[in-house]
Chains A and B, each alone.
Chain A
């Protein structure tokens, strides 16, 4: 309970900080919406020249893309603080976080929620649900499964962000590593099935971003077997647990060199 209250305060502070410059906030929301809109337009025009993309129809590809944006934005909303981790490391301010009587990941992972992502999330939820109900399925059990796999995907995302933090404690290299994660997730703007082996398996089982992004949409479309569903849940829990082990291990190697 104490943790939830502290997270709430961190979030409010972070929101206020972002909203202090309304012009830039407006520019960001416009830019993010434009990026999504232009890619959707591009997908629309692609299907003027072809009937399907690797066996998927236009509506399915659009839903995969909407689903990608929703999960990616949710992940950024929750774990945005990781982008600021480098300054904690190089200034030695990490010491102050580690000595506080709450779990350090509460601040380092969840402590910087971005209000811009919250706004984008609300818009994306509305568009994704509308499009999914109109063109994919109205089966509410499938939608519950979709929701469960989105949460499962966030567990994978949390695991990846914690792994980045752990790796950074040892190497002091955060910026590009987190951007590599962003680029890797960008590959999943189109379904994982489009990629050839071994890339497909790497993105599903080793860096389970396919589980995080493609699987929820596939479940909703009735394209995910129960074996893969079970495996995805086991893999995400394993991945998250390993990232916690890596984090604890990295802290034992933290030298507090800058403080």
Chain B
């Protein structure tokens, strides 16, 4: 455990080396929020309520997506694992007494903490600039279910991410293809651009059988108080199942991948 805490601490410091890159990355997240914010602002010019959301609830949704995005989806492992397998740099880790999977998880957590801190600052800035009417802070009983869901969702995203990046064992020259597909799935089916309530019931039901809505959409609607008791336990159970399933898949691909890994380029 101590060595991964050290990895966490070193990564935390490393993030301050490339400050300009980090600032650009944060600027990009602000732009993402602006698109959805103004899209919904345009919709609410001619109506008071859309798909069960008032304007204040929808803007709260958009702002909360930014926070959950920072916690769940910021992951330096996304940009590095494929490249390390492709270039043969993975060998450097295999000969060390560390678990490659735990090593990158520690680094991801460090990145998430820094991104979370900045996203809170950005939200205050955007709130000051845009002056949206937001739903008042949720009651504590909604915060605790939200936090419980996040604890499961963070590893869920990590294992989905690992599974797609480990495909690089078979296609080392192109590490981006499958990951690009997954990004599109979680951006649209994960509720980042729009809440899944805009979909008809049959489509929303179908999407529930994929892991994507559990990454962002459900944590946000739980915090917004749109999920009742039984529904919460169902979401929790399905998130847990998906996390375990994705862990098994990621580990399976990792073990199979190591058998074909030839450390090319080293």
Contacts and interface: CB of A to CB of B under 8 A. Distances in A.
A31 B50 contact: no
Interface of B is mostly: helix
A67 B173 CA distance: 33
Contacts, number: 107
B35 interface: yes
A237 interface: no
B51 A23 contact: no
Interface residues of A, number: 40
A24 B179 CA distance: 11
B42 A199 contact: no
B259 to A, nearest CB: 20
A180 B174 contact: no
Q: How large is the interface on B (under 10, 10 to 19, 20 to 34, 35 or more residues)?
A: 35 or more
Given A24-B174, A27-B180, A42-B194, A184 B24 contact: no
Contact of B31 (A23, A49, A187): A187
B171 A21 contact: yes
Interface of A is mostly: helix
Contacts of A54: 41-42, 45
B184 A31 contact: yes
B134 interface: no
Nearest to B30: A183
Contacts of B27: 180
B180 A42 contact: no
Interface string A155-168: 00000000000000
Interface in B201-237: none
A38 interface: yes
A53 B24 contact: no
B188 A42 contact: yes
Contact of B34 (A31, A53, A199): A199
